[in-house]
């Protein structure tokens, strides 16, 4: 085995993982961590990040106002994650509210409503504009009709977070809108499960907040994914962890992806902090 570099330690963590894990991280100081970084993975709900980027692009172009109201209809109804399926059909909310629900509770009805508003081709056009060659939205969310939702690579998924961190996702204001929505995300097990709780809740003790994260995860039978931006006192870094080809398709908190992925995230954060802001 090579010397105990960060990359070799990540490989050691994943030695017993039955599937394939793709990792990409960028410390914005010229250093990256890459493992299967250009391999294609199913996105699951991670495709909601390019959808959000597309919505903000249309805002930037003056085609959409986030304050405008829309409603969801029967054709956009779907089971799965989210809360709109438990509320009244035809509920009217602002476009920003739909976008927020799509990200923070991964609401599938909100997602389909925005896909209908934007168009699949427009989302994929955005991916092209951002230089993403593999990342694509293939279908609306319909578990009975389609087996595939989207595709991406660890590097390409991170690219959107990199642009937002550098305030280049259309402009500084829209980059901030993007980050603030993702900071409210409820499901970030892959990135945070093994981290010290104090890092994220230190302000509850009267101390200043040490670390925050803007992220979006996604899970289907074929994958368990997460990605986002870590903000620390030493600066920030973008990270994506995508998994596929594991033995067990069942959904539960102790799935092996949620055992190995969080260990990788913890290793990367500890390494970044120990070097005071770099890899």
Residue 214 covered by a domain: yes
- What residues form DSSP beta bridges with 214? 229
User: Stretch 203-212: mean pLDDT, rounded?
Assistant: 85
201: containing domain: 6-274
Residue 1 covered by a domain: no
We report the CATH number of the domain holding residue 58 as 3.40.710.10
- Residues 84-122 have pLDDT tens digits of 988 888 899 999 999 999 999 999 999 999 999 999 999
Query: Is 133 a residue whose pLDDT tops 90?
Result: yes
Residue position matching structure tokens 């961190």: 165
20 DSSP assignment: E
User: Stretch 184-193: mean pLDDT, rounded?
Assistant: 91
Residue 144 covered by a domain: yes
Query: Is 1 a residue whose pLDDT tops 70?
Result: no
Domain count, the chain: 1
Instruction: Report pLDDT for 2.
Output: 62
Instruction: Report pLDDT for 60.
Output: 98
Tell the burial category of 97 from Cβ atoms under 10 Å away from its Cβ (0-12, 13-18, 19+).
middle
DSSP notation for 107-141 = -HHHHHHHHHHH-HHHHHHHHHHTT-SS-EE-S-S
3 DSSP assignment: -
CA distance 126 to 57: 8
Instruction: Report pLDDT for 208.
Output: 84
CA distance 15 to 183: 32
Instruction: Report pLDDT for 115.
Output: 98
Instruction: Report pLDDT for 52.
Output: 98
Contact 243, 21 (CB under 8 A): yes
Residue 279 covered by a domain: no
Share of the chain above pLDDT 70, in %: 99
Residue 215 covered by a domain: yes
- Residues 10-67 have pLDDT tens digits of 999 999 999 999 999 999 999 999 999 999 999 999 999 999 999 999 999 999 999 9
- Residues 229-270 have pLDDT tens digits of 999 999 999 999 999 999 998 888 889 999 999 999 999 999
Query: Is 188 a residue whose pLDDT tops 60?
Result: yes
Q: Is the Cα dihedral 219, 220, 221, 222 positive or negative?
A: negative
* Element counts in the chain: helices (H) and strands (E): 10, 10
């Amino acid at each position: 085995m090579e010397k105990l570099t960060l990359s070799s330690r990540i490989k050691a963590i994943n030695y017993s993982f039955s599937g394939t894990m793709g990792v990409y991280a960028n410390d914005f100081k010229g250093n990256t961590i890459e493992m299967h970084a250009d391999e294609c993975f199913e996105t699951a709900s991670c495709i909601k990040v390019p959808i959000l980027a597309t919505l903000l692009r249309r805002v930037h172009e003056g085609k959409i106002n986030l304050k405008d109201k829309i409603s969801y209809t029967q054709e956009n109804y779907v089971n799965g994650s989210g809360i709109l399926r438990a509320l009244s059909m035809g509920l009217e909310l602002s476009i920003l509210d739909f976008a927020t629900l799509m990200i923070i509770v991964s609401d599938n009805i909100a997602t389909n409503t925005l896909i209908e508003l934007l168009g699949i081709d427009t989302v994929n056009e955005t991916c092209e504009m951002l230089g993403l060659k593999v990342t694509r939205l293939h279908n609306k969310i319909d578990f009975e009709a389609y087996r595939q939702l989207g595709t991406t690579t660890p590097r390409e998924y991170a690219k959107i977070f990199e642009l937002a961190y550098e305030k280049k996702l259309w402009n500084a204001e829209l980059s901030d809108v993007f980050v603030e929505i993702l900071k409210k995300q409820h499901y970030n097990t892959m990135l945070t499960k093994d981290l010290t709780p104090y890092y994220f809740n230190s302000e509850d003790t009267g101390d200043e907040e040490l670390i925050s994260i803007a992220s979006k995860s996604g899970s289907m039978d074929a994958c368990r994914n997460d990605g986002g931006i870590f903000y620390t006192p030493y600066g920030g870094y973008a990270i994506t962890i995508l998994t596929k080809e594991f033995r067990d398709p069942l959904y539960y908190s102790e799935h092996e992806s949620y055992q190995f992925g969080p260990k990788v995230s913890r290793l990367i954060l500890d390494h970044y902090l120990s070097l005071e802001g770099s890899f």
